Amino acid sequence: MNEFIEPFERMIETIATPALVRAVEHGMDAASLWDVVAASGFLDALVPEDRGGAGLSPAQVHPLWLALGRHAVPLPIGETMIARYLLAMAGADLPDGPIFLAEARTGAECVISGGLLARHALVEADGALHLVETASMAPAPTGVNGSLAARVSWSGPTRAAIGAAPAGGLRSLGAILNAARIAGAAARLTGMATAYANERIQFGKPIGRQQALQQTLAVMAEDMVAARIASQLGCAGGLPPSPAAAATAKSVASAAAARITATAHAVFGAIGISEEHDLQLFTRRLHEWRLADGAETFWNRRLGALRLAVEMGSVDFVRAWQDAGQDSSL
Amino acid sequence: MTLAALPAADEAIRPAIRALIERAIAGTPADIRARSWLGFDAAFSRELGAAGFLGLTLPKRYGGGERGAFARFIVVEELLSAGAPVAAHWITERQTAPLILNFGTEAQRNRYLPGICRGELIFCIGMSEPGSGSDLASVRTRAERTGSGWRVNGQKIWTTNAQHSDHMIALLRTSGSAEDRHAGLSQMIIDLKAPGVTVRPIVDLTGGAHFCEVFFEDVELPADALIGREGEGWKQVTAELAFERSGPERIYSSVVLLDAWIRHLQASGRADPATAALVGDFTARMGVLRAMSIACTAQLAAGESPAVEAALVKDLGTSLEQQLPIAIGDDLAAHPDEPVDAELYRTLMYVTHIAPSFSLRGGTREILRGIIARGMGLR
């Protein structure tokens, strides 16, 4: 644990209470909340020190991203951290306000997590990065209840690109962010489900005393820990992450997200389906983060293609990207 | 549990152990290498001992390498990923050595540990009985005090490699009855050549015979057969099982098959998105399991006993190990026009048939999940 997590989490607790998360989801202007985040300096956590940032590594930022998931934070804080890092590295000006990330094809619509709240978008198109005002992409609600994701479209660049896209694309960066948020929310859900299982009495005893439920919750804990370690692996190298690191992180976290939400709802029963219960603040986000930047099959295909292209044993392949001093091309 | 890196000083051990393994397994087909845990080769284990690759966590004064848990992880990772025949030292080096080091007398340490580090002394673990499988606390095999030591009567079953072993570490009842559960259990070192001991191998569904029935009929043991304290057997066994559950052995049991299948895909030139996704799924999960296993190793290295974490890694790890042969079988059968060579087919079917044992040995899936649930405060 590093010294940044405590002040960060204190700040998150003030701007992302369940009541505020609901208010933002119902259309409250989030500008005043964003001002708190901007004033904290955390948005420049990844920006190098010589460019005015804190110069933290992804591994140091990982606990902050976990906290975003643990508190169901609706603002695109992680995306903005990544965007400001990329803009700073490209020597571009850093705009105020939230920024979302999008890999876009000209003329095609896509859904962007947190897109309704962002003032700017950092768009990757044809291998180049473009910073545009969100309004130019005609952001529209998806029509999904409570969702702050936006449906956007890209009609091609109107100005020169600010630089080349990072290796592996913006999706690789979004993948390690979303893997970490999944892991954070998974930890919260595992804690909530376990506490509830110890409180809820049926058949004269807490439902957590039933072996069937104990076994299910044990599997939930396994998925939760696997997602956390996977997301740590994603953040263990530099930026951008290696293709295998991003793929491993997002594949394992996304697959776990689906099972963890299912188990959480199964434990809570009908009350967990209700709007007034906080459970849905986390489970809806887990599903959104699972799909964002590619779910398990997208990343499994990429990782599998990498694996099939090299003649080595599976353990050596894993060592090659996991262990220090090994092949960084994987 | 958090991400940990293998120290460079320990990593330096890898080329030497890899070279030794490559010499030993050259030309061994995949279906034989897939037996790894069950592949018995006493000469190979002695060679490992002579080269200093056994007892890496033990102090030098007992013949150990005094290198610690990370160095041992690397040696074990190399042995398992290659499918080396490790059965002749496996259980002894992993469980018995730390047990004797932690709970044995100085005389017992001096008597047994150097031979274990040389790969010469083979122990088996006598826990299960016909009426005591997962419910280990119900053991009935009894050791009664005599004027000079102990007299043992009863039976163990599913004892791996008893037919090849010099000694058994047996969990025995030294007082009370099966109803007393955890109280009254002790661990004893039994010389399997002692009069009254009968070892009978049990043939398994793969045609091999790696586990045994062991009968004790008025077997006389000296007083110093007791290891640790009388009546503390349950506590000692629990500590021992944490060693059994936390290593990389719980994620790599099917890796020889996985590698053989991937070589088949490469030779067939099959890399369509569905195939790649299956390969990627296995690769991603194995990568995370390896990181989790190293995280457990870091806890062992720090002197902790990560019982809950080890249970968690073992359950996830054996799930992958068991899904591999099922999914690979489905994949190969989905491509009937793609020839599968005889070695890959035998490897697939061997691992398919033996895989159910992966989540039995060292504690069943249900027992492990119970341990995790207790760690979560649910029991």
Q: Which pair of structure tokens corresponds to residue A219? A: 């599997």
Size of the A and B interface in Cβ pairs below 8 Å: 167
Whether the predicted interface score ipTM is above 0.90: yes
Residues B373, A215: C-beta atoms closer than 8 Å: yes
Q: What pLDDT shows up at residue B240?
A: 78
pLDDT of res. B136: 86
For B:38-77, CB contacts with A below 8 A are 77
Q: Which residues contact B180 (CB under 8 A, 6 or more apart)?
A: none
> Where does chain A hold its CATH 1.20.140.10 domain(s)?
169-311
Amino acid at A236: A
Residues 8-37 of A with CB under 8 A from B: none
- B201 preceded by a cis bond (ω within 30 of 0): no
What residues in A contact B292, CB-CB < 8 Å?
225-226, 229
Give the pLDDT of residue B105.
97
Region of B310 (left: φ > 0; alpha: ψ -120 to 50; beta: rest) is: alpha
A222 contacts in B (CB within 8 Å)? 312, 315-316, 372
Q: Write the single-letter amino acid at B314.
A: K
Identify whether the C-beta of residue B172 lies closer than 8 Å to the C-beta of residue B143: yes
Cβ neighbours of B284 in A, within 8 Å: 230, 247-248, 251-252, 299-300, 303
Pairing of strands A99-103, A120-125: parallel
Q: Tens digit of pLDDT for each residue in A28-73?
A: 999 999 999 999 999 999 999 999 999 999 999 999 999 999 999 9
Q: Which of B283, B313, B331 to mutate to test the interface with A (most CBs of A within 10 A)?
A: B283
Look at residue B247 in the predicted model and tell me its pLDDT. 67
What are the angstrom distances between the C-alpha of A235 and each of A61, A99, A170? 8, 21, 15
Strands B167-173 and B123-126: parallel
Buried b (16+ CB within 10 A) or exposed e, B214-237: bbbeebebeeebbbbebebbbebb
Pick the residue from chain A with its C-alpha nearest to B251.
Answer: A315
B281, B316, B368 ranked by CB distance to A300: nearest:
B281
Look up residue A133 and give its DSSP letter: E
Q: Which of residues 271-310 of A touch B (CB under 8 A)?
A: 296-297, 299-309
Tell me what pLDDT residue A327 has: 65
The boundaries of every CATH 1.10.540.10 domain in chain A are 5-164
**Nearest CB to B295: which of A209, A229, A313?**
A229
For the record, the structure tokens of B188 come out as 């004893």
Q: 3-state DSSP call for residue A123?
A: strand
List CB contacts (< 8 A) between A214 and chain B. 369-370, 373, 378-379
Start-end of H helices in B83-212: 90-91, 97-103, 106-117
Question: Does A1 lie at the interface with B, CB-CB under 8 angstroms?
Answer: no
Location of structure tokens 């610690």: B68
CB contact under 8 A, B255 and A302: no
- CA dist., res. A268 & res. B163, Å (int): 52
How far is the alpha carbon of B92 from chain A, nearest alpha carbon, in Å? 25
Task: Say if the Cβ atoms of A226 and B372 lie within 8 Å.
Answer: no
Over chain B (379 residues), the average pLDDT of each successive run of 10 is 93 97 96 92 97 96 95 96 96 94 97 98 95 88 96 96 97 88 93 98 94 97 96 88 71 95 98 98 97 92 88 95 98 96 98 95 92 94
Contact with chain A for residue B178, Cβ under 8 A:
no
Read off the pLDDT of residues A11-34 as tens digits, 9 standing for 90 and up: 999 999 999 999 999 999 999 999
pLDDT in tens, A174-201: 999 999 999 999 999 999 999 999 999 9
On average, the pLDDT of chain A sits at: 95
Distance, in Å, from the CA atom of B310 to the CA atom of A241, rounded to the nearest integer, reads 29
Distance CA A119, CA A127 (A): 23
Identify which of B290, B315, B377 has the shortest CB distance to residue A222: B315
Nearest C-alpha neighbor of B158 from the set B197, B209, B194: B209
Residues with pLDDT less than 70, chain A: 1, 325-328
Q: What residue ranges in chain A does DSSP mark as E strands?
A: 99-103, 109-112, 120-125, 128-133, 140-141, 150-153, 163-164, 201-202, 205-206
Is residue A230 within 8 angstroms of chain B, CB to CB? yes
CA distance B149 to A41: 72
Contacts of A313 in chain B (CB under 8 A): 81-82, 255, 259
Please compute Rg for chain A using Cα positions: 20
Query: What SS3 class is residue A95?
Result: coil
Distance from CA of A149 to the nearest CA of B (A): 27
Say which CATH class A169-311 falls into. Answer: mainly alpha
Query: Cβ distance A165 to A129 under 8 Å?
Result: yes
311-350 in chain B: CB under 8 A from chain A: 312, 315-316
- Contact of B278 with chain A, judged by CB distance below 8 Å, is answered with yes
Class of domain A5-164: mainly alpha
**Under 8 Å between Cβ of B99 and B227:** yes
At residue B41, what are phi and psi to the nearest 5 degrees? Answer: -150, 90
CA distance A77 to chain B (A): 24
Query: Is A323's CB within 8 Å of B5's CB?
Result: yes
H-only helix segments in chain B: 8-11, 14-25, 30-33, 42-50, 69-82, 90-91, 97-103, 106-117, 233-246, 255-268, 273-301, 307-333, 342-354, 365-375
Residue B220 region by backbone torsions, left for phi larger than 0, else alpha for psi between -120 and 50, else beta? beta
Cross-chain CB nearest to B290 (options A303, A309, A318): A318
Cross-chain Cβ contact A218/B370 below 8 Å:
yes
**Which residues of chain A does B315 touch, with a Cβ-Cβ cutoff of 8 Å?**
218-219, 222
pTM: 0.96
Q: What do you get for the CA distance between the two ends of chain A, in Å?
A: 28
Give contacts of B11 with chain A, Cβ < 8 Å. Answer: 323
Q: Which domains does chain B have, with CATH numbers?
A: 8-121 (1.10.540.10), 124-231 (2.40.110.10), 247-375 (1.20.140.10)
Q: Just list the catalytic residues of B.
A: 244
Residue B177 is predicted with a pLDDT of: 82
CB-CB under 8 Å, A208 with B277: no
Relative orientation angle of helices A279-291 and A18-25, to the nearest 10 degrees: 60
Q: Are B251 and B313 in contact (CB under 8 A)?
A: yes
pLDDT given for residue B137 in this prediction: 86
3-state secondary structure of A164: strand
pLDDT at B275: 98
pLDDT of residue A325: 64
